[in-house]
Every structure is written in structure tokens, then in C-alpha cells.
């Protein structure tokens, strides 16, 4: 289940340039400073806009240079789209990289999460987010969705309390009633802090509202239709947009898809199995190298890794900053490195050190995942992630289904399973969920490209297949390989198909398979 650029330890510089974390965020190197270009502003598209929405849709944007050749602005949106005249509003932070050639229009992007910063994605990671031909031919737009980053944002704990929430080790034995109650108490304290510190926005932090915000952005940018490239959770946001505004859907690409009909319990179980599969692929690669701290077969190595996790669960590893690494934080570090094959070297380094009693690199990986740098949380992705999911996913309370899911996870993901499940944090969220898990068909939206990677751990390939099947004109592109998402990852077959669609409206053959 992401973008945040971190100035973290040198050992993870390449990791930052090449990986996605569970929340779906993208990372890349900061682009070189570019000369500013004259800023252009198009008239907003207000055709057919109702009187109560005209104050929002009729906004004329004022762009300001914000470094690196980028322009930035803010867009005012209604807090409550069901009652836009209430007077309550939020601000949406937007960044633009103007086309280096003749612009076809705007290309909105979303890095995932939910909770990842789209402003950071483009401002810090432009070349990683989109290819050179798209940079030439589109005004590439990043935005922080409501609740996220530099937009009107969810706020919960300070850094010290966030450290306790994310890294502290429960005193009760894992799996006991006391352990569950301890975790639920921590979730309750977090939820209460979010409610107290977020200025009343929590009930309105939903994907449907964010999709409505995207239509507002389309209009104030002066585009008749939305062209869009969404990664991970961004596929759910894009599909929701197409369902709400099929007549405004232009060229949409959904990469690393989420199946909108899959319930939360099944999502968690499927992801756990996906990460076990990715971990086994990593372990084979590790065993084939000279630096691997494990020996024997993949099964042998997975058993030894399980023993390391169990040992950390019994006797946490002390870190130089006073924190202790238990099994949960170690699993977080493992997950962070499994989003990209380019990150596997750092996982090997971290596990080698952990076997020697030193958790430093594993903490770097876990901090990378959690948006933590030198004791400071540099974004609010963890808070926004919880806010969106707790409103989007109905709370499930079916003990039989939970028992079946735990059994399946234990069978299919024996290494991951002991550290994957726990009490539902959304069960104590202060507002009831308003979302539903159901198929999205987007009738009348036209062709929509769905890109799936065969061993994607965070958004398993079956979800891309499912979404492409659900969409009235879904077109599936398959990238055969490891890691999260498929476009701009070095596979020319995928890149050519995506860019031909976005640039020329050339629809690839459904089922295109890119080895």
C-alpha cells in the first residue's frame, strides 16, 4: 500500500531513486535546476457548471515559480461536495511542469497511497514519474489530494508520539487478548489525535471527494477532458473519476491497479501473499549472490529469516538512537525494500547487519517507509493513509471470514503471516465509513489502459486483471517482472504502449504482454 524525497543515509541513495513503498509513493533524484519559462494560464472550463459550483470552477489560477522550473498554485475546493455553498473550503496544492514543446493539454498524475504527495512526485521526481516524451508534450501536473501534504491536511501526532505509535513494542505477548487490547488502545489514541488536530476535515477525506477535486482541477486548468496517469491507489482514484465523470474522461492510464470490488480483509490477505512471493523472489536472487547471509535452498533461507524475525520478536535489537527493533519494524523494512528489485541490495545489507545484532540499516528502510528522517516526519502520509482507508473501506466484523483469512495467509505466506495481522485500526476511527467496495465500470468513458506487473507485491496482478475486466473499455497491459507498477521502469514495450496512447490516442491490443 506512494512522493517523498528523503535526504537519508547514503546507503539508501539508490533505494530512494528506484522504489515504491507500501503506501504507493514514488521516489527519484531531484532534477537539476531549470531556467524558468514564462507562465501561462488558460481560461477555466465552466461549460454546464451549476451556479453553486461556479465560484469554484470559475477560479482563475495565479502561478508562481517554485524552483526547478516549476510553477505552483493553490486551488480552493468545497470541503463538502454535497453542500458546496456551506462556506467551508479546503486548499489544494498544485505544481506544474510546463511542456517543453507544444502542450497537448494537462496530464494529472497521482503517486498512490492514499496519502502520497503528488506535488513532491512531480517537483522532486519528474523524470521518474513520466517519460521524456510526455514531459515534452504535456503540462505535467502534480497535486496533493485533500488531507495530504501541502493541501489542507490531516494532522495527528507529534514526532515523539508518532515514534511510539509506529515503533514501540507491545508489552503483552503477540496474539494474546492483552496484546490486541494494547494495540487497540494505541489505535484509539491515534484516531482521537487525528480528530482533535485535523480541523473537522476527517469525514470528508474520501476518494469520491478527491475525484471531484480532480474534476475541479481539470476545469481550472482549462481542459475539457481529464488526461491522467495514476499509480497504485491512484488507479482507484482514476477509476472513480471515470465512473463519476465518464464524459470528461480523456486518456486515462491506471498502473498497478487496485480492484475496487475487493473487501478490505481480502485486500490485506492478498497483499500479504504478494509480499511473500516477492520475498521468495528476492531470496533466490540473494542466494545467487556472494553477499547473501543465508544458505541452502529458498525454503531454507526463508526458514532462517523467519527465525531472525522470531528472535527480534522475543529480544528486540537495540539501535544507536535509543529505539529497539522488534519483528514488526523489521518486517516494515523488508516490505519497503520489496517494492523495487533495485532495492534488494539494501535489504541484503540490512539483514546481514541484523543477523549480527545491528538494526541500523533495517531502521533506515523502515524510516524510509514511514516518512521519518532524523527523528522528524517529513510528510503526513501515514496519517492520510489511515484517514482515506478508514472512510473508503466498510468495517468488516465477520469472525469466520477473519479466521479463514488468517488460515489462508498462514498457508500461503508463512514468513510474513505472523507479523501481518492485528486488530483493525479503523474499528476505532471517529467517523463511520462512507465508501463501498464494488465494481467500477465507467460506462461511456472510452478506452482506459490498465497496467499490471506479474509479481507486484503491493497491487497483485490479479487486481489489474479484475479492473480491466470490470471497466467497460478496459485495456490490459502486462509487464512480466518484479516490483510495483510497470510504466517508466525500463520496459520499452510498456512505455511505448502507454505513451502512444497518451500522445496519439493509439489504443494497444487488449492483453498486450511485455516480457
**Nine-digit cell at 347?**
535489504
Walking along the chain (515 residues) 10 residues at a time, the average pLDDT comes out as 28 33 35 56 93 96 95 98 96 98 96 96 95 98 98 98 97 96 97 98 98 98 98 98 98 98 95 96 97 98 98 97 97 96 96 98 96 95 97 92 95 97 94 97 98 96 98 98 95 98 98 97
Q: Which domains does the chain have, with CATH numbers?
A: 54-153+206-260+438-514 (3.40.50.1820), 159-197+262-437 (no CATH)
Told to judge if 392 belongs to the known catalytic residues of this protein, a careful annotator would answer no
Which residue among the candidates 232, 329, 343, 381 is catalytic per the annotation?
A: 232
Q: Which residues contact 239 (CB under 8 A, 6 or more apart)?
A: 254, 257, 260, 440, 442, 448, 467, 471
pLDDT of residue 7: 24
Closest to 93 (Cα-Cα) out of 27, 30, 156, 147: 147
Q: Which residues contact 207 (CB under 8 A, 6 or more apart)?
A: 114, 236, 237, 240, 388, 392, 435
Cα distances from 470 to residues 251, 441, 465, in angstroms, run 17, 5, 9
168 phi, psi to nearest 5 deg: -65, 150
Which residue among the candidates 71, 150, 223, 456 is catalytic per the annotation?
A: 456
Closest to 267 (Cα-Cα) out of 474, 22, 478, 468: 22
pLDDT of residue 397: 85
Q: Distance (Å, rounded) from C-alpha 452 to C-alpha 93?
A: 29
Closest to 503 (Cα-Cα) out of 257, 250, 255, 219: 250
Which residue among the candidates 45, 255, 343, 484 is catalytic per the annotation?
A: 484
Q: Distance (Å, rounded) from C-alpha 110 to C-alpha 240?
A: 13
Told to judge if 232 belongs to the known catalytic residues of this protein, a careful annotator would answer yes
Closest to 24 (Cα-Cα) out of 416, 310, 253, 336: 336
Q: Quick check: 239 and 448 in contact, CB under 8 A?
A: yes
The three-state secondary structure class of 88 is coil
pLDDT of residue 395: 87
pLDDT of residue 37: 63
pLDDT of residue 41: 83
Q: Distance (Å, rounded) from C-alpha 233 to C-alpha 440?
A: 14
pLDDT of residue 3: 29
Amino acid at each position: 500500500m506512494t512522493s517523498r524525497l528523503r535526504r537519508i543515509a547514503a546507503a539508501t541513495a539508490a533505494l530512494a531513486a528506484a522504489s515504491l513503498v507500501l503506501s504507493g509513493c514514488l521516489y527519484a533524484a531531484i532534477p537539476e535546476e531549470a531556467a524558468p519559462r514564462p507562465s501561462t494560464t488558460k481560461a477555466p472550463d465552466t461549460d454546464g457548471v451549476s451556479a453553486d459550483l461556479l465560484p469554484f470552477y470559475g477560479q482563475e489560477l495565479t502561478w508562481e515559480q517554485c524552483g526547478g522550473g516549476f510553477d505552483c498554485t493553490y486551488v480552493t475546493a468545497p470541503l463538502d461536495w454535497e453542500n458546496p455553498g456551506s462556506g467551508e473550503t479546503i486548499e489544494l496544492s498544485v505544481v506544474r511542469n510546463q511542456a517543453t514543446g507544444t502542450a497537448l493539454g494537462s496530464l494529472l498524475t497521482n503517486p498512490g497511497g492514499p496519502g502520497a504527495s503528488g506535488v513532491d512526485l512531480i517537483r522532486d521526481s519528474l523524470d521518474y514519474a513520466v517519460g521524456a516524451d510526455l514531459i515534452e508534450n504535456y503540462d505535467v501536473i502534480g497535486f496533493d489530494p485533500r488531507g495530504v501534504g501541502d493541501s489542507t491536511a490531516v494532522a495527528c501526532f507529534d514526532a515523539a508520539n508518532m515514534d511510539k505509535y509506529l515503533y514501540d513494542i507491545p508489552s503483552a505477548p503477540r496474539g494474546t487478548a492483552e496484546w490486541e487490547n494494547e494495540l487497540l488502545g494505541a489505535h484509539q489514541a491515534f484516531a482521537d489525535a487525528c480528530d482533535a488536530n485535523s480541523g473537522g476535515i476527517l469525514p470528508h477525506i474520501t476518494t469520491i471527494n478527491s475525484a471531484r477535486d480532480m474534476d475541479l482541477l481539470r476545469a481550472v486548468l482549462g481542459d475539457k477532458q481529464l488526461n491522467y496517469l495514476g499509480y497504485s491507489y491512484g488507479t482507484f482514484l482514476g477509476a472513480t473519476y471515470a465512473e463519476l465523470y465518464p464524459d470528461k474522461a480523456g486518456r486515462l492510464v491506471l498502473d498497478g491497479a487496485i480492484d475496487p470490488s475487493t473487501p478490505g480483509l481480502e485486500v490485506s490477505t492478498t497483499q500479504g501473499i504478494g509480499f511473500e512471493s516477492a520475498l521468495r523472489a528476492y531470496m533466490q536472487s540473494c542466494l545467487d549472490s556472494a553477499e547473501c547471509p543465508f544458505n541452502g535452498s529458498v525454503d531454507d533461507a526463508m526458514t532462517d529469516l523467519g527465525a531472525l524475525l522470531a528472535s527480534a520478536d522475543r529480544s528486540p535489537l537495540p539501535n544507536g538512537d535509543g529505539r529497539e527493533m522488534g519483528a514488526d519494524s523489521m518486517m516494515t523494512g523488508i516490505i519497503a525494500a520489496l517494492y523495487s528489485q533495485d532495492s534488494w541490495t539494501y535489504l541484503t545489507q540490512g539483514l546481514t547487519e541484523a543477523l549480527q545484532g545491528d538494526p541500523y540499516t533495517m531502521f533506515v528502510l523502515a524510516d524510509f517507509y514511514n516518512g521519518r528522517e532524523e527523528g522528524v516526519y517529513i510528510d503526513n502520509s501515514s496519517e492520510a493513509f489511515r484517514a482515506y482507508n478508514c472512510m473508503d473501506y466498510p468495517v468488516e466484523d465477520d469472525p469466520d471470514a477473519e479466521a479463514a483469512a488468517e488460515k489462508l495467509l498462514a498457508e500461503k505466506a508463512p514468513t510474513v503471516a505472523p507479523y501481518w495481522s492485528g486488530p483493525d485500526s479503523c474499528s476505532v476511527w471517529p467517523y463511520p465509513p462512507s465508501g463501498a467496495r464494488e465494481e467500477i465500470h465507467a460506462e461511456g468513458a472510452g478506452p482506459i489502459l490498465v497496467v499490471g506487473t506479474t509479481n507486484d507485491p503491493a497491487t497483485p496482478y490479479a487486481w489489474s486483471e479484475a479492473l480491466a475486466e470490470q471497466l467497460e473499455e478496459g485495456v490490459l497491459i502486462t509487464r512480466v517482472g518484479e516490483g510495483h507498477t510497470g510504466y517508466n521502469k525500463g520496459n520499452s514495450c510498456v512505455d511505448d504502449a502507454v505513451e502512444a496512447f497518451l500522445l496519439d490516442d493509439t489504443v494497444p491490443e487488449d492483453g498486450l504482454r511485455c516480457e
